[in-house]
Amino acid sequence: MKFSALLNLFIFATTFAGAQSAQTVPFSSDRWEFSGEHTLEEYKGQSSVKLNNGRAYLPDVSLENGIIEYDVAFTSDRGFVGAMLRIQDQKNYEEYYMRAHQSGNPDAMQYTPVYNGNAGWQLYYGEGYGIPHRYRFQEWMHVKLVIADRQMEVYVDNMNVPVLHAFELKREPATGFVGIYTFIKDAYFANFTYQSVENPTMKSAPKSFPAAEEGTVTQWEVSNAFSSKQLEDQTELSKEFRNGLNWQTLESESSGTVNLSQVSAVAEETNTIIAKFAVDSDQKQIKPLHIGYSDAVTVFVNGRAIYGGQRNFRSRDYRYLGTIGYFDTIYLPLNKGDNEIWFAVTERMGGWGVRARFATSENISLAQ
């Protein structure tokens, strides 16, 4: 009888653990860990927390797939208000946020992965990443995030139709904790709930980005990070500099972009990475190469600089975002035989990446 009772208790506990119900965590709970300025307040009839350029974490939560819901209210002042999910540590997670000052614009809300503390909004924009939406300021809005493997749906107020379908989450799916945050502004949060669900229902049809176009460089050798000062005014790469680098291989995404934030956090002494590839040319020739980068780059061909560019946020005018794309074309002076193409990419903020695509792969082959 005792064994039977214990067995039944085990079965009940196992079943309950595999089918977690939604859990509400009031902000007065000691389960929350806060950083930055925060106060517990009543706001428009709701018990809430006001975060002012702050964060709140639930480190005891383990969620890979499931549902996160909360109410949020904020002003139209410039700033960012969002949620963090599948948090591995405070610098590595998936992120969703609202841009209050961009209400109604194409970038009103955003999904981006965060690697080593660096968000990638300059690398990820448009379909699958951002969407227009008009906010109701200083009023409660209800937000629901449904996360399933590589997909996330975002609902705001209308729980029947997702406003954003992020159909290709960039980080490898993994169990992690969850949190909320504000940046540059304050906002109120209330009624935070989470639910771990193995296979949550997604209303959006499965979708994927198209494969990389022919001629895209899909495999890069990527160095350790170092200070951009090491290459200031350098038109040729010394043997000593080359020999001091360590390398790893990174595959590009379907867009052709390699997210270099996977390699290192950004700091003054670690703000530049070399991304390189090899080209075998059957003749001496000039070859057009379409490129994109964020935020600054110097391109070297066979050790000699041929191009330098800047695409920093607001570097050209106050509205300039510095997003990545095939916005530039350079002309590579290739020797017959093997050639090395090096991109020294420097990051300031908002996304650290590079991409390259040959207009035609005729007369060359890439060492992929």
Give the tens place of pLDDT for each residue, 112-126.
999 999 999 999 999
pLDDT confidence of residue 368: 63
At 10 the pLDDT is 38
**What local confidence, expressed as pLDDT, does residue 12 receive?**
40
Phi-psi sector, 5: left (phi>0), alpha (psi -120 to 50), beta: alpha
Residues of the chain with pLDDT under 70: 1-19, 368
Give the per-residue pLDDT at 367. 72
What CATH fold (topology level) applies to the domain 20-196? Jelly Rolls (2.60.120)
State how far the alpha carbon of 175 is from the alpha carbons of 66, 211, 262, in Å.
11, 28, 18
- What six digits make up the tokens of 136? 């109701």
- pLDDT for res 320: 86
How many other CB atoms are found less than 10 A from the CB of residue 20?
A: 15
How is the chain split into domains, by residue range?
Answer: 20-196, 219-366
> What pLDDT, on a 0 to 100 scale, did the predictor assign at position 315?
87
Phi, psi (deg, nearest 5) at residue 342: -115, 130
Integer Cα distance of 83 and 90 in angstroms: 13
Q: What DSSP string runs through 91-106?
A: TEEEEEEEEGGGTTST
pLDDT at 20: 76
Is 2.60.120 the CATH classification of the domain at 219-366? yes
**CATH topology identical between 20-196 and 219-366:** yes
Peptide bond into 317 cis (omega under 30): no
Q: Which of 176, 165, 149, 168 is nearest to 65 (CA)?
A: 149
Q: What is the pLDDT of residue 16?
A: 39
